[in-house]
Structure 1
Amino acid sequence: MNKVLVTGATGFVGTALVTSLTQHFNVVAGVRHTAVSASSVQLELGDLSSATPQLATFQGVDVIIHLAARVHIMHDTASDPLSEFRKTNTTATLNFARQAAEAGVKRFIFISTIKVNGEMTVKDLPFQVELTAPPSDPYALSKYEAEQGLMALAQTTDMEVVVIRPPLVYGPGVKGNFATLINWLSKGIPLPLGAIHNKRSLVALDNLLSFITLCVTHPKAANEIFLISDGDDVSTTQLLQKVARAWHKKALLLPIPVVWLHFFAALLGKGEAANRLFTSLQVDNSKATRLLGWQAVTTMDKQLEEMAKFYKA
């Protein structure tokens, strides 16, 4: 049975991934600090950017799934955000990966971000794996540079690399803006989002977990980059209607013209957040289905129903 080490194992995706993987593999949860009441085997990783080889960390490990990262921050107070993102997402990742390769780890799965491709797409022209230009956003650039370093490492060592760029992940336990929207809808708060006709790709947590699990052992995943999504794009308005339906609530969505919403968002300094609500971001996941034979294991409606049960409990 393959031994899999998951970094960032206490996060939203990491927690669910460790639980899911234990059904198929011998799993070690890589954490910053060991929890007293842990439900899985834990390994305290410490500073991943340390240049000191941590060979004991990789003892018996066949595959690493690297989730640990400094995530995108809406209101970053760092004087040099790019430097801070690079420290964790690029330098630490590549240092950790080099040590893993030296220790004989067979495969390194890197969870990147769709932001590497960009923030928005022209409607019905989804992102492909290939890039037109490197990203300018500090968070996305740090992830892109890590991708490039990992692919170079795969060319000079025996360790295989798999890169996965997911869009917004939703599921039980989700936080951030998605959780805020759920809170507003569950309280019956009217929202001026009833006339948005964009297209957004999302990925259900269960779908992402199934794809990562497939990449642990599939031979054709080696040294490839994948975009992943549910394959069922929705507008912001449709998404909110689906969320309300899962919560058995009436969606109070006011049909305010998008041009007005853009104007008021800019006045309030919320232009970046507005772009995610009003613009399109579509992902072509055909490579995952064509090369690996992957198929979604759940639908958006079913995942939202699971979320509703989770939050009500």
Structure 2
Amino acid sequence: MEKRAFVTGATGFVGGALVAQLVAEGWQVVALVRAHSDTAGLSSPGIALVVGDICQPEGLADAMAGCTVVFHCAALTGVGHRIDDFYRVIAGGTENLLGAARASGIKRFVLVSSVAVYELEGASHCDEQQPLLSSSIDPYGCAKIRAEAACLAAHRQGQFEVSIVRPVFIYGPGDRPGGFLPELAGMMAQGKFRLIGGGGNRIPMVYIDDLVNLLIACAEQPGASGQVYNACSGESPTWRELATALSDGLGLNMPGVVNPRLVMPVAGMLECLAKLKLLRTLPLSKAAVKLLARDVVFPADKAARELGFVSGVGFAEGIAHTLPLLKAFSRCTNR
């Protein structure tokens, strides 16, 4: 297979790390970037930049010309976005890319999804057969479900081969402001973060290098066609262990504790207001509370068995690699 990939979200955390690894492994990369994006990290030989937007389908097929694989990493993250924008960008953008991929003759489409698609009510062990979210209107998770459905439909129709990867919380050097750990550290610094239920439950995490390796395996290995894979490291810290590592490493105060029985009703009320169109954003969903407050495992056994996925970086090593980045963010914030 000719190693020429089309990558969305290339100026983001996952997309940027993926592009760097693809180039290191001899791939030619076409990176889709928006007009005003910071592309300083995409100047290596082997990377061609194409200006465009997944929400504007015109020109996407031409930009993919000559590529054999699409890695779709672009998405909205965080809670500050309008509910409608999650669907417009995540679901609608994916549908636009699928149409362009069909027109340009793409052979493999790899979607970066999320474990936010899973129904966590009563769950403690979520493999890839776990039912999808139905008890919450969490816009991120629901939009990802629509994006996955569109991808799998394209696969069933024989348009091209599809693989879907569902990461847990992603961390590592190279993260951007607004990313998971930068956002968490910022909230701790401002005294806005609380450990739900004391923080004794595990937080499922995956190191960026491990995730990138799995994405590339999905593009290269025939057995990944039509498959869905969890992406999670072999060991997960508790929320208290993570907060302690950030507190010690960044000189922050440990966060306080909040009773989950107080948080869930608030999330339920916010969802009711969103359903009535009285909220344009949803700052907290019931699905998010379950993910933050419960001890849920997202095993990557299927990826290990079928693709040889190995989680090579444990939490202690991974957080040590990440702390310098977080310290740099902290210095910039305090200026």
> Is the pair's TM-score, using the shorter chain for normalization, greater than 0.5?
yes
Q: Which runs of 5+ in 1 are unaligned?
A: none
Secondary structure of 2:209 counterpart = helix
Cα–Cα, structure 1 residues 249 and 85, in superposed 2: closer, same or farther, change >3 Å? Answer: closer
Q: Which runs of 5+ in 2 are unaligned?
A: 271-282, 329-335
Report which stretch shifted further, 272-281 or 297-306.
272-281
Counterpart pick for 1:62 among 43, 64, 68: 68
Distance 1:171 1:222 in 2: 28
* Aligned residue in 1 for 2:209: 206
What amino acid is aligned across from residue 241 of structure 2 in structure 1? Q
* Aligned residue in 1 for 2:98: 97
Cα–Cα, structure 1 residues 158 and 191, in superposed 2: closer, same or farther, change >3 Å? Answer: closer
Report which stretch shifted further, 100-109 or 28-37.
28-37
What amino acid is aligned across from residue 73 of structure 2 in structure 1? L
* Aligned residue in 1 for 2:156: 155
What amino acid is aligned across from residue 151 of structure 2 in structure 1? L
Q: CA deviation at 1:201?
A: 0.9
Distance 2:289 2:143 in 1: 24
Does residue 289 of the first structure (1) align with residue 304 of the second (2)? yes
Question: Contact 2:168/2:204 (CA < 8 Å) preserved in 1?
Answer: yes
Distance 1:184 1:52 in 2: 39
Distance 1:259 1:133 in 2: 23
* Aligned residue in 2 for 1:27: 29
Distance 2:109 2:102 in 1: 9
Distance 1:141 1:106 in 2: 27
* Aligned residue in 2 for 1:237: 240
Secondary structure of 2:125 counterpart = coil
Distance 2:88 2:190 in 1: 42
Q: CA deviation at 1:36?
A: 6.9
* Aligned residue in 2 for 1:111: 112
Question: Contact 2:246/2:252 (CA < 8 Å) preserved in 1?
Answer: no
1:172-202 alpha-carbon deviations (Å, 9 max, x no partner) = 22543522443576x7979864932212211
What amino acid is aligned across from residue 3 of structure 1 in structure 2? R
What amino acid is aligned across from residue 18 of structure 2 in structure 1? L
Counterpart pick for 1:74 among 64, 72, 79: 79
Distance 1:214 1:147 in 2: 19
* Aligned residue in 1 for 2:126: 127
Question: Contact 2:185/2:326 (CA < 8 Å) preserved in 1?
Answer: no
Secondary structure of 2:162 counterpart = strand
Question: Contact 2:264/2:289 (CA < 8 Å) preserved in 1?
Answer: no
Q: CA deviation at 1:241?
A: 2.4
What amino acid is aligned across from residue 57 of structure 1 in structure 2? A
Question: Contact 1:121/1:281 (CA < 8 Å) preserved in 2?
Answer: no
Cα–Cα, structure 1 residues 5 and 241, in superposed 2: closer, same or farther, change >3 Å? Answer: same
TM-score by length of 2: 0.77
Which residues of 2 match residues 34-53 of structure 1 at below 5 A? 37=40, 38-40=42-44, 41-50=47-56, 52=58
What amino acid is aligned across from residue 287 of structure 1 in structure 2? K
Distance 2:260 2:54 in 1: 45
Q: CA deviation at 1:305?
A: 0.7
Distance 2:302 2:192 in 1: 40
Distance 2:6 2:118 in 1: 27
TM-score by length of 1: 0.82
Q: CA deviation at 1:225?
A: 0.7
Q: CA deviation at 1:75?
A: 4.0
* Aligned residue in 1 for 2:277: none
Aligned residues: 302
Secondary structure of 2:24 counterpart = coil
1:80-128 alpha-carbon deviations (Å, 9 max, x no partner) = x24x33322222212221221232211000111111114x4657x2212
Cα–Cα, structure 1 residues 53 and 131, in superposed 2: closer, same or farther, change >3 Å? Answer: farther
Report which stretch shifted further, 108-117 or 31-40.
31-40
Superposition RMSD in Å: 3.3
Identity %: 25
Distance 1:265 1:283 in 2: 26
Which residues of 2 match residues 264-283 of structure 1 at below 5 A? 272=285, 277-283=292-298
